Amino acid sequence: MKIRTEILPDGEEEIVIKCKDRTDRIMALESLIEKAVKSQGDIPLYISNTEYYVSKNDILFFETNDGKVYAHTKSRIFTSRYRLFEIEQIMPSYFIRISKSAIANTKMISSLKRELTGNGEIGFRGCEKKVYFSRGYYKFLHDKIEETRLGI
């Protein structure tokens, strides 16, 4: 396999993969590139009328309440103009749905506490913030945390 980079001084950046077949290896490569591109950059979030550009890596979780989407960092709560399903699409793959009304950053999770009902509570590194997950999302959440920790 050859890797070649062309510098285009005024063109839009584009990544093209040329191959004979779209094999599992090619699809894995596409996925890695997509993850790398998505994880870059900031997301616009708001407090009152002020727009902030917050690093995606600083966000602990998103949740909906009263028709609004809130983004939580260690020290602040922002509002988002994106809907939750849009956030799922624009955030890196380590952000996953944990309930109908929340998405969490698996890289920042420090603890999972399960209740008898199967639902549970997520704790985050370096702060006291918590968010709740639904039992139907537990297995995927647990697997995704393991995958993130192993760097897969």
pTM of the predicted protein model: 0.74
What's the CATH code of the domain at 116? 2.40.50.1020
Tell which wins on pLDDT, 116 or 134. Answer: 134
Total number of domains in the chain: 1
Segment 75-100, tens digit of pLDDT:
999 999 999 999 998 898 889 999 99
Establish if 144 belongs to a structural domain.
Answer: yes
Structure tokens at 117: 């009902």
SS3 29: helix
Indicate whether 4 belongs to any domain. no
Which residue, among 111, 107, 132, 115, has the nearest Cα to 39 in the 3D structure?
107
Six token digits for residue 58: 């600083």
pLDDT at 69 over 90: yes
| Domain residue limits at 98 | 37-150
Burial of 142 (0-12, 13-18, 19+ CB in 10 A): middle
Distance CA 152, CA 150 (A): 6
For residue 26, tell me if it sits in a domain.
no
Is residue 67 in a domain? Answer: yes
The string of pLDDT tens digits covering residues 118-149 is 789 999 999 999 999 999 999 899 898 888 77
